[in-house]
Structure 1
Amino acid sequence: MSDAMSAHDGEQEVLRLEGLRKRYNIGKPTEVEVLHGIDLRLRRSDFAALVGASGSGKSTLLNLIGLLDQPSAGELFLLGAPTSRMLDAGRTALRGSTVGFVFQFHHLIPAFSALENVLMPLMVATGKPNAQQVDHARSLLAQVGLAGLEERKPDQLSGGQQQRVAVARALVTRPALLLADEPTGNLDTKSAADVFALFRRFNREFGCAVLLVTHDPRMAEQCDRTITLVDGRIESDQLRASGR
């Protein structure tokens, strides 16, 4: 990828939220609104931390952005496509091709090897993976420190190793947007730094926007941008001086 292409592609808007709201128990006495009109934009070059106290709405917002849940009002655009009126099949296809997920809990398939778990998003999308895709998955496992462990099942791996498999799985489709919810919570300091560096490389080299939910202020400080959520509203959205 040339520098000119990188600069141009980096400006492409991956995500746009316009007046996003989320209510639960609609029409009932217990109705509550958790998100109150969220406006947000992410470009391919963005590497952002989403921070906020427990109960501020971070997980709810992440689920909406990842098309795992639907907003009560407002619009969410992924790569320019409005999603609020999409049928489930369209939302599933867009999510599979555009978004990578790393959650606090890895959600690996116990019967599958590490390599098969990494390949799962490609298998869902296209069926049996080709040799190039298998090589790509092996390369990702090596980059997260799991070379030689490709055939191990999740119960043969430590918790930290399982999380690194989940990281490789999230990146295998080269997504336009990576959503990471406390992705290094189960890792030691060195492994956490390695995973963070891998996110950085994909952000810079492949134009993968990163939105990282973290309670760790040191990790948030390493991101280029910090979005602070307070009681379901964005209180601040700050670009660091060293950020792009």
Structure 2
Amino acid sequence: MSEVREVLRLEGLRKSYNMGQPNEVEVLHGVDLRLDSADFAALVGPSGSGKSTLLNMIGLLDSPTGGELYLGGRPTRTMDDEARTALRGSQIGFVFQFHHLIGAFTALENVLMPVLVAQGRPSRETLDIARGLLADVGLEKFADRLPDQLSGGQQQRVAIARALMTRPSLLLADEPTGNLDTRTAADVFQLLRRFNEQFGCAVLVVTHDPRLAETCDRKITLVDGRIVSDEGMRGDR
């Protein structure tokens, strides 16, 4: 395991919508949070608590209206769209409840997608990395299959391999097992944990499943746009 390092830090993060309008509403109210490379954490909270908004902030898909978000030590709030896109592409991997694979592409081509978008034609080294990731998720024999030739669990494993293609420092998983049966969900969850340990990739899982949250090393609870508890193996934070 590599040395533990800071991956993400939020300082007083705020997000408002309809700024300056009579119907302005603040959804996140000064959120402070830190994730290190060894963290395997769950983000939980009731519907409407701000989880999706916070995930969009952390994933650099939207900009906060106050506070600061540091990714790999770099402040991001005042970055332009081009810089944010480049940083997101190199440092963050996403896994969603629905895999969002491209139906006309093979499993291998779907895993390669982040590189194809950024660089175009893949190199031999890149192809080897993609094939290695498919092997890591147990699908090396399915590289040439299309998504509709794979089971739901296999498609989700392809999505995990795709998320890891750029060796991100942070993996964001939004209800990654919500569309899977219990046994397949457990397998996918173990894959995420293995990559957390193997690559030193911080993992933040957004989930409504209390059983899944309890198996994470850390549980962060968001209520009404504020973190009300942050519990883990190293005690409350």
Short-chain TM bin = over 0.9
State the one-letter code of the partner of 1:235. Answer: V
TM-score (norm 1): 0.90
Structure 2 counterparts to residues 75-86 of structure 1, below 5 A: 75-86=68-79
Q: Alpha-carbon deviation of 1:93?
A: 0.7
Q: Deviation above 6 Å: which 4+ runs of structure 1?
A: none
Structure 2 counterparts to residues 56-71 of structure 1, below 5 A: 56-71=49-64
Structure 2 unmatched runs, 5+: none
State the one-letter code of the partner of 1:15. Answer: L
- The 2-side partners of 1:45 and 1:221 are apart by 17
- The 2-side partners of 1:24 and 1:153 are apart by 40
1:189 aligns with 2:185: no
1:150 aligns with 2:132: no
* Distance of aligned partners of 1:130 and 1:242 in 2 relative to their CA distance in 1, 3 Å threshold: farther
Structure 2 equivalent of residue 168 of structure 1: 161
Structure 1 equivalent of residue 96 of structure 2: 103
Structure 1 equivalent of residue 41 of structure 2: 48
Structure 1 equivalent of residue 224 of structure 2: 231
Structure 1 unmatched runs, 5+: none
Q: Alpha-carbon deviation of 1:165?
A: 1.6
Whether the 8 Å CA contact 1:141–1:147 is kept in 2: the answer is: yes
Whether the 8 Å CA contact 1:224–1:242 is kept in 2: the answer is: no
Bigger Cα displacement from structure 2, 90-99 vs 201-210: 201-210
1:73 aligns with 2:35: no
Q: Alpha-carbon deviation of 1:181?
A: 0.5
Identity percentage over the alignment?
72
Q: Alpha-carbon deviation of 1:242?
A: 9.4
Structure 1 equivalent of residue 22 of structure 2: 29
- The 2-side partners of 1:189 and 1:13 are apart by 33
Q: Alpha-carbon deviation of 1:241?
A: 5.9
User: SS where residue 33 of structure 1 aligns?
Assistant: strand
Q: Alpha-carbon deviation of 1:128?
A: 1.9
Whether the 8 Å CA contact 1:163–1:186 is kept in 2: the answer is: no
Whether the 8 Å CA contact 2:156–2:188 is kept in 1: the answer is: no
Structure 2 equivalent of residue 200 of structure 1: 193
- The 1-side partners of 2:227 and 2:55 are apart by 13
- The 1-side partners of 2:26 and 2:97 are apart by 25
Bigger Cα displacement from structure 2, 151-160 vs 51-60: 151-160
State the one-letter code of the partner of 2:35. Answer: L
State the one-letter code of the partner of 2:68. Answer: E
- The 1-side partners of 2:224 and 2:104 are apart by 40
Whether the 8 Å CA contact 1:226–1:238 is kept in 2: the answer is: yes
